[in-house]
Amino acid sequence: MGVDVPNLELVCDHATPDKYSAVRLHMDLSFPHHELPQVNNWLEHHAWNDLELFLTERYPQHREAISLWLECSQARAEANDPVTTLRAVNT
Residue 76 binned pLDDT confidence (cut-offs 50, 70, 90): confident
Q: Are 7 and 26 in contact (CB under 8 A)?
A: yes
- How far apart CA 63 and CA 56 sit, in angstroms, is 5
- Alpha carbon separation from 37 to 15, 33, 42, 59 (Å, rounded): 37, 8, 9, 20
Question: Does residue 90 have a pLDDT over 60?
Answer: no
Residue 24 binned pLDDT confidence (cut-offs 50, 70, 90): confident
Residue 86 lies in a domain: no
Q: Are 57 and 39 in contact (CB under 8 A)?
A: no
- How far apart CA 21 and CA 15 sit, in angstroms, is 11
Number of domains in the chain: 1
Residue 32 lies in a domain: yes
Q: What residues make up the domain containing 13?
A: 9-81
Residue 3 lies in a domain: no
